A = this chain, B = another copy of it.
Amino acid sequence: MPYVHIVTALAVLQFVVFGFKVAAARGRYGVKAPAITGNETFERLFRIQMNTLEQLIVFLPGLYLFAAYLSPYWAAALGVVYLLGRELYAFTYVRDPAKRSLGYGVTFLPIVILVMSGLIGAVRAAWHLNWPAA
């Protein structure tokens, strides 16, 4: 599992870095807390952070379900794709929100694979628990 743990730590640290950029943008563009609007670049950086939060709450459970039922190595590999996809998403979104789709897709595809495979693995395990001979 250490590879899955490394990916976990990197994913939350990536999110922390996105948060730092939001905090820095507050100062640079004069968006005083608690406001979350008022400057286009600030709003883009804020949405990158929030969208990453929305992805993390799906990604992390998916990562561990996949690791438990299929393979921690493949879970970690899909996690690396997620991390790179998030970087691409952030890089493109801050320049032009209309071009965020590719980065979003490269993030979302590994997440769907992780969660859906984990779900199938759990359903099969529940099935065998009830009908061991089947």
Binding site for B on A (CB under 8 A): 2-3, 5-6, 8-10, 12-13, 15-16, 19, 32-37, 40, 43-44, 46-47, 49, 53-54, 56-58, 60-62, 65, 68-69, 93, 97-98, 100, 112, 115-116, 118-119, 121-123, 125-126, 129
Contacts of A53 in B (CB 8 A): 53-54, 57
Given contacts A2-B126, A6-B122, A123-B6, contact A13 B56 (CB under 8 A): no
A and B contact pairs by CB, cutoff 8 A, 24 listed: A3-B126, A5-B118, A5-B122, A5-B125, A9-B61, A9-B65, A9-B115, A9-B116, A9-B118, A9-B119, A12-B62, A13-B115, A13-B119, A15-B58, A32-B98, A33-B47, A34-B43, A34-B44, A34-B47, A34-B93, A35-B43, A37-B37, A53-B53, A56-B57
Contacts of A6 in B (CB 8 A): 119, 122-123, 126
Nearest Cβ in chain B — how far from A77, in angstroms? 13
